[in-house]
Amino acid sequence: MNLELFKKDENKEISLTSLEIAELTGKEHFHVTRDIETYLEKVVEGGVSKFEDTYQNPQNKQSYKCYRLPKREVLILVSGYSVELRAKIIDRLEYLENEIKKQSLKVPQTYAEALLEAGKFALEAQRLELENKTLKEKAEQNAPLIHFANRIKDSNDAILIRDYAKILYEKNKIEIGEKRLFAFLREKGFLMNDNKPYQKCIEQGLFRVSETTISTIKGDRLVSTTKITGKGQIKITNLLLERNHYAV
């Protein structure tokens, strides 16, 4: 009997047929099927009928019943056999497991298969190279912003909006200008129509409002000036970069 015929089932789960177990142990096949039906019926949920299979007798070409057992059931079955017989079964199971591992690392057998595998490898290498190039370019684009953020992230200084607009262009090449920057901040809900920050934005530490008393002919007048903090600069810069698809 060719034992290779009973190496494994279609889903690559390790299994042995009752015929193979009989040949490995030197038992008669009907004795093995009797053992399967006697011993495994007690421990297999739903009964051993789920493991029924067929084989064809090479002499009369007729089909006969056998069993195909997964590894667990094989080990349970042979636990009552002698040490020598158990060793033969265990060796066989280990052999089949190693065969499946080898197949998972299949070496191309033909020139066409080798070309196909080489093509797959080349495409993957090209994809990784493109991905690394994209990441490098993005890092280079964001380097000014990273430097800018590291410089001001812990700063307690707040600057005027017009000065911030200049920094955006000088450090990040964001050409927006003071007027358009004010409009952007109003649009995004940071500033009110009079260009003063909402209270929640002040509480979040994004803006500060400084008040100065100016003396005029008509009397003293209180002037409020909106300034943006380091934290606010980082947040707004990221928003502007996202709008232009350059988010960090």
Is residue 86 domain-shared with residue 150, that is, in the same domain? no
Query: What confidence score (pLDDT) does residue 4 get?
Result: 41
**Averaged pLDDT, 233-239:** 87
**Tens of pLDDT along 47-99?**
888 899 988 887 877 888 999 999 999 999 998 888 989 899 999 999 888 88
Bridge partners (DSSP) of residue 17 are: 68
Question: % helix / strand / coil in the chain, to the nearest 5?
Answer: 60, 20, 25
Most confident range, picked from 59-73, 179-193, 218-232: 179-193
More confident residue, 119 or 65: 65
How far apart, in Å, are the Cα atoms of 69 and each of 41, 46, 51, 82, 183?
Answer: 12, 14, 6, 19, 75
Confidence of residue 19 (pLDDT cuts 50, 70, 90): very high
The total number of structural domains in the chain stands at 2
Look at residue 116 and tell me if it is in a domain: no
Res. 139: pLDDT tops 80:
no
Confidence of residue 5 (pLDDT cuts 50, 70, 90): very low
Look at residue 63 and tell me if it is in a domain: yes
Of the ranges 7-21, 120-134, 143-157, 199-213, which one carries the lowest mean pLDDT score? 143-157
Is residue 83 domain-shared with residue 167, that is, in the same domain? no
Look at residue 224 and tell me if it is in a domain: yes
Look at residue 22 and tell me if it is in a domain: yes
Task: Flag whether the pTM goes above 0.85.
Answer: no
Is residue 55 domain-shared with residue 146, that is, in the same domain? no
Res. 119: pLDDT tops 60:
yes
Query: What's the DSSP call for residue 107?
Result: P
More confident residue, 164 or 220: 164
Query: What confidence score (pLDDT) does residue 3 get?
Result: 44
Query: What confidence score (pLDDT) does residue 9 get?
Result: 44
The proportion of the chain whose per-residue pLDDT surpasses 90, expressed as a percent, equals 30
In whole angstroms, what separates CA 116 from the centre of its chain? 26
**Among the three residues 79, 104, 129, which one is the final residue of a domain in this structure?**
104
Its domain, for residue 196, covers 140-243
Res. 235: pLDDT tops 70:
yes
Look at residue 202 and tell me if it is in a domain: yes
Neighbours of 179 (CB within 10 A): 11
Is residue 65 domain-shared with residue 156, that is, in the same domain? no
Res. 234: pLDDT tops 60:
yes
Look at residue 69 and tell me if it is in a domain: yes
Look at residue 130 and tell me if it is in a domain: no
**Among the three residues 104, 120, 151, which one is the final residue of a domain in this structure?**
104
Look at residue 122 and tell me if it is in a domain: no
Is residue 149 domain-shared with residue 231, that is, in the same domain? yes
Tokens in use for 72? Answer: 């667990």
Query: What confidence score (pLDDT) does residue 245 get?
Result: 42
More confident residue, 212 or 247: 212
**Among the three residues 104, 131, 152, which one is the final residue of a domain in this structure?**
104
Query: What confidence score (pLDDT) does residue 132 get?
Result: 74
